[in-house]
Structure 1
């Protein structure tokens, strides 16, 4: 066939499909069963719209031609079914025969067009010999239609019809034995679609990700149509589903079919139609499909109830169904909008999103990538680069890139804070349309830049503050270590003094006392000399006792030899008032670091000395315990007490300093006339530094 004649034939097929649409409407609107035939009014609309749309743009494409043929044949098959649905009273026998034959021809043509389209989609060529063989099989099955015109009498209708069996005036009696076989073939015209769908699924598995994205929607629509066929057969044979509901389901599924092919073509520019109509028509088709499904679902509930319930209840049920399905419709429309146009974020939403992101950001190394990602996602840009040029000692320069920068930037917005330029935001073109940024987009990026500049400055201030805190912590640690060294040096110095007194002055006084005794023995004959020597001996013994008391207060030997409890008990035995020493078993069986034992003993000694000197107590109580890693020391007396707010002595202050030097906690509980309790909590283990 000449190219011009072939083009004319394809165009004529499209014209017949368009002309079948008003025929369908007239047949449905003129019948008594109009409410039950609403699917005939709706279903051919998307097929005709898609057929005209794609063929008008690229009539020479084989994929487009077969898609257009499928759409036109569905429209014609629907018109034939609508005419048959009017019944005997409106169609004479001759016209009924012609309509039945036309419907068989359109169904066979639909099967051939569907198989041919699926066999070459999306590349436009056959990829295996088996695909070409299936198309040829579908073409051969189309020959069953003229054969049936000569063999089958009466003619069966492809769809349900109120008409009785229709006489076939062309049937040849001699060929009647072939009638059952040919009739069975007419009933199996759509079966070549099954292996074709299987081939498409295999092709999908073999395809690369880009082609899979193009094929997924049409393949999904085909699978839904197959599932609807199985559901229809099961419901019809089982008698458990209403025909109106099934027709509504077919309307939704079949309307979805051409739309998915159109979307696949639009998005991947097989026919370049998006250059002319952009994505608005795609969204319009999706919106129409959603609206049709919403109307069918809401109306189907009323139609199903109309035959079983009063009219008022049916109307009420329809209203309730409309309200129930409305949120679903809104959600589907929002998804369609986002899928076709992408995520569209307003300037206010973008600033909120950026603010939330910046609240979670700690440093510049995290802030810049989030800034770039937010701008790119919010404006739909191909790439964004944020460059940071910090003045002075604020930090090193940084850069963050989102996307793959190609070509020059569509806009460059400076990042300025306090009149100082900190960097710039380079924006690539938009991912859609011509890539240009609108003035509103530039204003939005400027707002983001101002917010980012403040966040960058705050991040650097936070970094400086953190560095200062680290420096303070280091200084505090060094101070603690210095205090510990002083405490340890004091303990060592007390031990040295104790040794010096014990080995030096104390031994000399002991020797002096011994010599005085010897002198008394030698001078017993001289009473005056003897009395002098007795006085000398008494004085020396008092000095020795004072020295021993001094050494015991500095660092008694028993503290180093036997531990804290024994040292306190020995100290208590020499006091002039009763002293009760209560120590936990854990404390008695444990030794603590030297500085801890020394500080605890110093607290007990100072508290006891102060009580005896100022409070005139009748008894004292010393309590030692250990819990949760802390050594507790408490000295309590029943003396006169004092007003802690008016105390001016340095004794308790010295005790507090010594306790705090080893990271302990010191406390005093007293009052005039109610005695005094002095205590502390000391680390039971190694003294922490810092």
Structure 2
């Protein structure tokens, strides 16, 4: 009867072991923290358990009316990183020393998970900043090479051509023409390099124009776009991610959906770019394994700190929706 009402309150090891088994399969700290509060609540038959910190939060159940809760600090590496709250079963809820020891041990594990969540968040921010700097540098390099070095080399090739025509010595003229041809080959290689740095259409038309250009030329499906409030001066990393996601989603819809209509929308919600590509095709089969395209779109969104959702149903079409933050990318 005691086990039914109070769980393993007399066996701290059983509580800790139960929590450990539940959090072991988790793939990330936030998921593990949710498993932790669920497992603690289950092991001690508590009405409520929750963890609160600046980096991660999780809760399970609801506090009993009027009973309140007990709070336990969660520490890791000498720092207090959050608070574990366990709800009282009743106003006069008995609380044993062993029960106290079990919850304190679980609180230490929660502190370790909170520390890990902070590290994951720091890594994500660092990766986002690195990506942003990389894409901004690529945009600058492309502009410098395309507008500066490229025309200068092409002009030099024209000057060598004119010089070769004025030289009377056939051997010297041939040498000059050889230099001219090598320089033109270098210009061609440079243009190839420039094209690889960043999609040229983004610099030519801006993101709104580039998104509209993706839909040009299709009779089936009938393509429509609605792009409101999206400026041409977004961070380079967000521009590239949005364009790559839209290009992949449109290509998938055209090739595989058998849709008669496709709609692309983009707008700003505060400092988040919302990009949606919807079709009315046959949808993605339930047992379909995600291919390179879907993984690539999710990775593109994650790289800039965003998220991507794919909603689909048989014969009801597919919606690809990306939310890409732009406020802290500049």
| TM-score, length of structure 2 as denominator length | 0.49
Give the structure with the larger strand fraction: 2
| TM-score, length of structure 1 as denominator length | 0.27
Give the structure with the larger helix fraction: 1
